[in-house]
Amino acid sequence: MLLPSSRALLHRWIGNIGTFEATTKSRLHRQIGGSGQLLSVRVQFIAPYGGFGAEGRLKEQKRSEFSECKYRKYSKMLPTNTAVKQRGPIELVRFTKNMTFFTNQKKSYDKDSQTLRLSTPLDRPLVFIFAWLQASEKHLSKFAEFYLEQGFDVLSVHISPWQLVWPVYGSQKVAADVVKFLTNNDFPEGVVIHGFSVGGYLWGECLVKLSAEPDGRRVLQKIRGQVWDSLADITEIPVGVPHAVLPHNPTLQGVLRNYINYHMKLFHEEATQYYVQCTHLFHHEPAPCPALLLVSKTDPVGTETANNRLRGIWDSVGVKTSLKCWDKSPHVGHFHKHRDEYVELLHAHLRTLDLPLYNRKAKL
């Protein structure tokens, strides 16, 4: 049932204001503010392609922050005993509003703004990171570091909560850029997808667009492997979004969860039907390359049950799929909780893929 206060959220979202306010009474008020007071929350939702918080932080502080970071080295886990030289601190190069390259080299990644075709083709394999909601560059840099040391180029893509709940004006536009980039560039060294949580939904939007293109299957052949960490089933959006936006406030998570449930029912034509379509293609028409699923028994968003079901479907359509389930680790927190084992799993998975880099190393 929609809370009375959630009607205010609905009107603000319909008006595309970009923020919403919720006011409610709670039994917890006696603990946090006294009896009879109103509990208010103002949650920022960013309109598509407009001032995403990560972009602002990118311009103001991340360069100095990254230069001070001490990164864990993964050189000993390379395909051979020859380590790839770490050329410098990780820097960010904004490619589009929602896509960012992580690099430890001096590279510009110049492109044609209409086609997103790179002026200079990539000469290394590319890992395409589909980020979770509210992921920071600092968190993503840990994964970027691993792949850079393996000899990959690293490109991340993100969507905001606003872009998730209004897909026609948000996530589908981001997906269109991803598809344009994959279609108009050559990747002789191959592409690997490493996605997290709602990043699976964004890739589903990409699959929808590729399915409508005459050469969509050819583009999918560029994908040599995929890794999905804490993959969130679309039915878990009401759980996952509040968890990402309000991670430390269970009371307000409940308010937002009630609204999102109502939103999905009310805006079936504008939003929910697209979630269903993406889920179907993600499950039944995936990229035809080996997959690794990373989950835990205690994750309420990327559940073990949902990921095991996905594994069964992918196996049935010929996608070789491996699954690792830890007993305990938080949503998108498996790398932090089980770092050594996580890295070993990634390394073993990469060795099984048809990547020229690894094939050359194997011959040495």
Average pLDDT, integer, range 357-363: 77
Token pair, residue 191, equals: 């592409």
Average pLDDT, integer, range 95-109: 94
φ, ψ for residue 282, nearest 5 deg: -60, -40
The pLDDT of residue 359: 81
Separation in Å, CA 105 to CA 38, 48, 152: 52, 30, 12
Could you tell me which residue, 175 or 24, shows the higher pLDDT? Answer: 175
Q: Please state, in angstroms and rounded to a whole number, the distance separating the CA atoms of residues 297 and 310.
A: 15
Nearest to 210 by CA among 202, 218, 200, 198: 218
Per DSSP, the residues of 26-50 read -TTHHHHT-TTPPEEEEEE-PPTTS
Q: Please state, in angstroms and rounded to a whole number, the distance separating the CA atoms of residues 324 and 293.
A: 6
Name the H helices within the chain: 6-14, 29-32, 53-57, 63-68, 137-150, 161-165, 171-184, 199-211, 216-220, 237-245, 250-266, 273-284, 304-316, 334-337, 339-351, 356-363
The length of the chain, given as a count of residues: 364
The pLDDT of residue 107: 85
Q: What is the pTM of this model?
A: 0.77
326: β partners = 296
The pLDDT of residue 26: 39
Average pLDDT, integer, range 204-208: 97
Average pLDDT, integer, range 27-49: 39
The pLDDT of residue 19: 41
- pLDDT > 90 in the chain, percent: 58
pLDDT in tens, 286-341: 999 999 999 999 988 888 999 999 999 999 999 999 999 999 999 999 999 999 99
User: How far does Cα 235 stand from its chain's mean position?
Assistant: 17
Q: Please state, in angstroms and rounded to a whole number, the distance separating the CA atoms of residues 68 and 264.
A: 43
The pLDDT of residue 38: 41
Place of tokens 């996608």: 319
Nearest to 182 by CA among 159, 158, 213: 213
> What is the rounded end-to-end Cα distance, in angstroms, of the chain?
63
Confidence of residue 74 (pLDDT cuts 50, 70, 90): low
Q: Compute the chain's Rg from CA coordinates.
A: 21
Among 105-109, 117-121, 257-261, 356-360, the range of highest mean pLDDT: 117-121
Amino acid at 188: P
The pLDDT of residue 253: 83
pLDDT in tens, 126-179: 999 999 998 999 999 999 999 999 999 999 999 998 999 899 999 999 999 999
**pLDDT of residue 4 exceeding 80:** no
**pLDDT of residue 67 exceeding 50:** no
**Which of 62-66, 90-94, 242-246, 353-357 has the least mean pLDDT?**
62-66
CB 303: neighbour CB atoms within 10 A? 22
In the CATH scheme, what architecture does the domain 91-358 have? 3-Layer(aba) Sandwich (3.40)
How does DSSP classify residue 20? E
φ, ψ for residue 118, nearest 5 deg: -70, 140
- Cβ(102)–Cβ(132) below 8 Å: no
Could you tell me which residue, 131 or 237, shows the higher pLDDT? Answer: 131
User: How far does Cα 133 stand from its chain's mean position?
Assistant: 7
Confidence of residue 186 (pLDDT cuts 50, 70, 90): very high
The pLDDT of residue 10: 44
Confidence of residue 361 (pLDDT cuts 50, 70, 90): confident
**Which of 185-194, 256-265, 277-286, 346-355 has the least mean pLDDT?**
256-265
